[in-house]
């Protein structure tokens, strides 16, 4: 609803109460003396004003979308009502690891799985592909594993024609992966890797630090396997394949842009890594013309000195010159509570060329009034185009009002926030406040591989059913999908083309939705 319409409602309310002889002071004591009919009208006005101020409510639906919305709301309402009857079984009120399989059986989840979601604007390079794909990579020729003293624990991986003598890891010895598998048995190794390549099913972390320790250990273990040049290309292409199957048509990937290595152990330049991203994206687009494309955000680690960040800025600038419409921005990543705050890096960050945008992780914390959550202030002052997570934003009303006025969307990553110990029950997620106050957001998945989640559907499911209000419907879903393209780094021409591709898929989904039988399992 427009501000003019809201003022009209307020005037109407004031006129109605004034006609009853009420002053503002009297109103503050309640409306106990007005007629039940007048009270009912006032109540409807206030509820309507609240709902109309929510994100996406201003969208106008077509007749087909209205018909599809009936299907959607029927399915959503059934799941909500089941939660009311037995709150202990309501899936957004539980940890994703406890309901992972049940969620996949949900009619609402199956509906959202087929929905064209637009773009995924917050995802990290080596946390994208399914665990099964990662395990399949361990069967590749020339893979070595570094095992601990027990001969079982995997400490590192490396592709090499011979024993990786140049790579020394304390407390372990190298052996061929095929020999390791023969020694311990096919099923045992597969089961072991399932646990090592993901955080699932661990839910008993005592702190965010403990959860992050496990989280970072997966990245470290995977690096030696994924940073081999041909594997890196295959991994990224498979990530695009899995995203496309999950209704994602566009990707803005955050990457540390590591130096890849060849089979002889030699390191390759950073530009080689970016070129692989670009080449594989173009290859995927050729085979999937409905895919809008992908762009890259350089996102190295934040726990470094200002001198290192200055080097990062140079890397970003140089790579952008080589890939001007592909590498489009900069971020700093890693656990915000342990890394240095943005204010420590103001001097090198201010030297970044203006045409390169910032997309800062900020406010991914439960702390309040510290240098950690004050990263939100610096991100805004530095002109960030989006804010990653922004979990602490609702504790900063001035910052929240600024991102609304400046139209800076928050990249909300529901499942990541839960797994990394920021909050448990999705109904208590601070993004509810953002939706209620019409603050721009996009839904993202961060690191879906590490929690056995789909590229984006799980996050949409928990956001729509648990974070959004009961009354949220297809308007919100449409708004979120459009926002993911609107707030992307696509050029004006690319945006128009991307919206056409998304609209075609959306229209197909709407038509199918009105005909499908969602109660029938897949």
Q: Give 396's contacts (C-beta < 8 A, 6+ positions apart).
A: 363, 373, 376, 377
Q: Give 168's contacts (C-beta < 8 A, 6+ positions apart).
A: none
Whether 330 and 354 have beta carbons less than 8 Å apart is answered as: no
What does residue 412 show for φ and ψ, rounded to 5 degrees?
-85, 125
Whether 199 and 450 have beta carbons less than 8 Å apart is answered as: yes
The per-residue DSSP string of 259-317 comes to PPB-TTS-B--HHHHHHHHHHHHHHHHHH-TT--EEEEEE--BSSS-HHHHHHHHHHHH
Whether 315 and 298 have beta carbons less than 8 Å apart is answered as: yes
Q: Give 109's contacts (C-beta < 8 A, 6+ positions apart).
A: 103, 457, 458, 461
DSSP reduced 3-state for 130? coil
Query: Which residues are known to be catalytic?
Result: 364, 389
Number of other CB atoms surrounding residue 519 within 10 Å: 9
How large is the greatest C-alpha to C-alpha distance in the chain, in angstroms?
A: 91
Whether 424 and 454 have beta carbons less than 8 Å apart is answered as: no
CA dist., res. 197 & res. 221, Å (int): 8
Q: What pairing do the DSSP bridges indicate for beta strands 357-358 and 327-330? A: parallel
Tokens (6 digits) for 243: 């995203």
| 77, HSE (Cβ side, Cα atoms, 13 Å) | 9
CA dist., res. 360 & res. 406, Å (int): 15
Whether 495 and 487 have beta carbons less than 8 Å apart is answered as: no
Q: Give 458's contacts (C-beta < 8 A, 6+ positions apart).
A: 96, 103, 109, 415, 445, 448
CA dist., res. 206 & res. 218, Å (int): 19
CA 445: distance to chain centroid?
3
Tokens (6 digits) for 29: 């004591």
- In this structure, what DSSP letter does residue 514 have? T
Number of H helices, E strands in the chain: 21, 12
SS3 per-residue string spanning 219-253: HHHHHHHHCEHHHHHHHHHHHHHHHHHCCEEEEEE
């Amino acid at each position: 609803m427009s501000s003019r319409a809201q003022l009209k409602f307020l005037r109407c309310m004031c006129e109605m109460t004034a006609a009853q002889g009420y002053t503002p002071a009297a109103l503050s004591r309640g409306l106990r003396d007005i007629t039940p009919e007048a009270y009912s009208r006032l109540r409807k006005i206030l509820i309507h004003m609240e709902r109309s101020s929510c994100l996406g409510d201003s969208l106008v639906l077509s007749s087909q979308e209205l018909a599809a919305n009936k299907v959607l709301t029927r399915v959503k309402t059934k799941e909500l009502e089941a939660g009311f009857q037995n709150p202990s079984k309501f899936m957004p009120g539980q940890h994703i690891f406890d309901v992972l399989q049940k969620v996949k059986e949900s009619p609402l989840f199956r509906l959202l799985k087929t929905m064209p979601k637009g773009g995924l604007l917050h995802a990290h390079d080596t946390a994208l592909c399914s665990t099964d794909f990662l395990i399949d990579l361990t069967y590749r020729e020339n893979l070595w594993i570094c095992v601990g003293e027990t001969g079982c624990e995997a400490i590192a991986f490396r592709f090499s024609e011979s024993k990786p003598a140049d790579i020394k890891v304390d407390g372990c010895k190298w052996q061929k992966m095929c020999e390791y598998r023969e020694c311990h048995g096919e099923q045992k190794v597969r089961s072991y890797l399932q646990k090592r390549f993901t955080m699932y099913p661990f839910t008993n972390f005592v702190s965010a630090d403990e959860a992050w320790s496990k989280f970072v250990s997966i990245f470290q273990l995977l690096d030696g396997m994924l940073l081999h040049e041909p594997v890196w290309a295959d991994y990224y292409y498979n990530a695009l394949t899995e995203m496309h199957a999950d209704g994602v048509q566009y990707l803005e990937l955050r990457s540390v842009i590591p130096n890849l290595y060849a089979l002889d152990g030699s390191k390759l330049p950073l530009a080689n890594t970016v070129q692989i991203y670009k080449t594989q994206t173009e290859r995927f687009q050729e085979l999937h013309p409905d895919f809008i494309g992908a762009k890259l955000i350089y996102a190295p680690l934040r726990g470094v000195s200002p001198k290192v960040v200055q080097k990062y800025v140079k890397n970003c600038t140089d790579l952008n010159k080589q890939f001007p419409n592909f590498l489009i921005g900069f971020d700093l990543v890693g656990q915000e509570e342990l890394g240095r705050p943005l204010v420590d890096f103001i001097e090198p960050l201010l030297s970044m060329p203006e045409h390169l945008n910032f997309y800062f992780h900020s406010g991914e914390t439960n702390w309040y009034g510290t240098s950690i959550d004050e990263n939100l202030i610096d991100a805004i002052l530095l002109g960030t185009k989006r804010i990653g997570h922004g979990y602490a934003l609702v504790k900063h009303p001035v910052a929240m009002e600024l991102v609304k006025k400046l139209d800076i969307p928050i990249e909300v990553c529901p499942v990541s926030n839960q797994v990394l110990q920021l909050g448990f029950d999705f109904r208590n997620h601070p993004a509810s406040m953002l939706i209620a106050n019409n603050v721009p957001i996009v839904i993202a998945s961060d690191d879906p591989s590490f929690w056995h989640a789909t590229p984006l559907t799980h996050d949409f499911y928990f956001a729509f059913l648990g974070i959004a209000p009961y009354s949220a419907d297809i308007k919100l879903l449409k708004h979120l999908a459009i926002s993911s393209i609107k707030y992307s780094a696509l050029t004006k021409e690319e945006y128009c083309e991307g919206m056409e591709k998304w609209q075609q898929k959306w229209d197909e989904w709407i038509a199918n939705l009105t005909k499908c039988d969602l109660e029938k399992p897949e």
